[in-house]
Structure 1
Amino acid sequence: MTDQLRQLLESCIENGTETDLQVLNILLQGVQKRSERNSDSYVGELLHMERKIDNHTCEIVIPINPAIHNNLNIVHGGITATVLDTAMGSLANYILPEGFGAVTNQLNIHYIAPGIGDQLRCCAEIIHQGTKTVVISGEAFRSDGKKIAHATGTFFIIPK
């Protein structure tokens, strides 16, 4: 595997555009951070997520870069959905007692404006906490403060 990976990296470095090399660097930094932190998820590290969480809210910020752009050079809607789902799911899991976890049951997103600028910030807050589900609201903002998406998510509570 090491020789095959080395050849692949060398080919990408030799033949890639400046943007390709920038994206490769961003992705490799994410893999390196996952390894250093011993994270159990690649998604957070590949997107360079920074998270703040308490009993009521969760905020995740990611840098906007070409690795997350769609063909219009704005943040891909799936990336916005992923960060919103992660913020809401992180909050749902944070508030649950030991031995329980939360998984997404339903995710509703309304896209409002394009994701442009330097960073994407997603905030989540609890709407309802029951014994079987948690309902959470989320909003995504670009670096100029404009809201780009509003979401709600329902999360099943399951034993781990």
Structure 2
Amino acid sequence: MKDDLRQLLETCIENGSEADLNSIAYLLSGFKQKISQNRSTYIDGILQMERKFEENTCEITIPIHPILNNNLDIVHGGITATVLDTAMGSLANYYLPKGFGAVTNQLNIHYIAPGIGETLRCKAEIVHKGSKTMVISGEAYRSDGKKMAYATGTFFIISKS
């Protein structure tokens, strides 16, 4: 496996453009963070998520890199959705008692402005916490402060056992 990976990387390094090499470095940096900083998931490491919890809120910020862009050269809507869902799901799980977890049941996103700039910041807030579900809202912002998207999500509360 290691030899195949080395050969793959060498081929990419030899044949890749500067943009390709920059993207490879970005991805490998994310994998390094997953491995060395014990990130919980690969997507957490790859997107280089910085997470902060405050009273009833969770905020996740990621750097915007060209690898995250669509063919219009703006952040792909799926990336925005992933970070919003992660912020809302992280908040749901943060406030549940030990032995329980929350999984996304429904996610609704309204895209408002294109994702451009240096960072994407998503902030989630609890709207309702019941015994079986939670409703959470989230907002995504560009580094210039402009709101990019608004989301709501419903999360099932499940037993981990």
TM-score by structure 2 length?
0.98
Partners of 1:40 and 1:141 in 2: CA distance: 24
Q: Are 1:41 and 2:45 an aligned pair? A: no
Shift of 1:45: 0.7
Q: Are 1:136 and 2:136 an aligned pair? A: yes
Given that residues 55 and 91 in structure 1 are in contact (C-alpha distance below 8 angstroms), is that contact kept between their aligned partners in structure 2?
no
What does 1:114-129 align with in structure 2 at a 5 Å threshold? 114-129=114-129
For each residue in 1:64-102, what CA deviation from the matched residue of structure 2 results, as whole angstroms up to 9, or x when unmatched? 011101111100000000000000000000000010000
Partners of 2:55 and 2:101 in 1: CA distance: 15
Letter in 2 for 1:130: G
Partners of 2:91 and 2:2 in 1: CA distance: 38
Letter in 1 for 2:97: P
Letter in 2 for 1:144: D
Structure 1 segments, 4+ long, off by >2 Å, are none
CA RMSD across the alignment: 0.7
Letter in 2 for 1:140: A
Q: Are 1:93 and 2:93 an aligned pair? A: yes
Identity score, percent? 69
Partners of 1:119 and 1:78 in 2: CA distance: 16
Q: Residue 155 of structure 1: SS of its match in structure 2?
A: strand
Shift of 1:3: 1.1
Residue equivalent to 1:148: 148
Q: Residue 104 of structure 2: SS of its match in structure 1?
A: strand
For structure 2, the 5+ residue unaligned runs are none
Letter in 2 for 1:4: D
Q: Residue 39 of structure 1: SS of its match in structure 2?
A: coil
Residue equivalent to 2:13: 13
What does 1:51-90 align with in structure 2 at a 5 Å threshold? 51-90=51-90
Aligned residues: 160
Q: Residue 61 of structure 2: SS of its match in structure 1?
A: strand
Partners of 1:42 and 1:67 in 2: CA distance: 16
For structure 1, the 5+ residue unaligned runs are none
Shift of 1:17: 1.0
Shift of 1:55: 4.2
Letter in 2 for 1:41: T
Partners of 1:44 and 1:126 in 2: CA distance: 22
